[in-house]
Amino acid sequence: MTKTIKEYFDPYGIKPRVHAPIRDKEKLKEFEEYFDIMKEEVNKMSKEINIYLAAKMTGVDDYNYPAIIAEAIKLKIMTGCHIVHTANAPRGWKYEDYIKHSLEMLRHCDAFYLLPGWEGSEGVERELAEAFRLGRPVFECVEDLQAWIGGNR
């Protein structure tokens, strides 16, 4: 029984199991087509939309980490996007270091999402001003975010 090119790869399609050159032209063509498909998948992943999740942290129990992380997981499931937030930044930094870090991460994001209860947070207000300065769309409602994502994939 002849194996197809796909059968020479591990279940994730990453490592070749056979390292010998392919001399059969049909097999070579099948191999090239398979890798074209893999390249398309990698390109799709590299074009993933990054969403910045902003939330009030200062003055909230445990800096609001549990709510931020829970919301990030929910948004990831509901949108399929990469969710960026400061709840996974190293602990023990000075306030201004967190702000600098958050603004730098925001610059690499495609959209801005506000966790309910952000009002009155100086940090979120600074992030929001930067989002507007960068021209990033700002969302407070996951349905609006999903609609925007649908038009940008």
Phi, then psi, of 11 in degrees rounded to 5: -60, -25
31 and 98 both lie in a single domain: no
32 and 71 both lie in a single domain: no
89 and 18 both lie in a single domain: no
71 closest CA partner among 57, 83, 56: 83
Q: What is the CATH number of the domain that holds 67?
A: 3.40.50.450
Asked if 46 and 30 count as a contact pair (C-beta separation under 8 A), the reply is no
Three-state DSSP at 46 gives: helix
102 and 140 both lie in a single domain: yes
55 and 94 both lie in a single domain: yes
70 and 82 both lie in a single domain: yes
pTM: 0.69
81 and 18 both lie in a single domain: no
DSSP 50: E
Around Cβ 96, how many Cβ atoms within 10 Å? 8
Q: How many domains does the chain have?
A: 2
Three-state DSSP at 101 gives: helix
The domain in which residue 129 lies consists of 50-150
> How would you write the pLDDT of the chain (153 residues) with one tens digit per residue?
454 544 444 444 544 444 455 567 777 677 677 767 766 665 555 458 999 999 999 999 988 999 999 999 999 888 888 999 998 888 899 999 999 999 999 999 999 999 999 999 999 999 999 999 999 999 999 999 999 988 775
110 and 134 both lie in a single domain: yes
Asked if 87 and 153 count as a contact pair (C-beta separation under 8 A), the reply is no
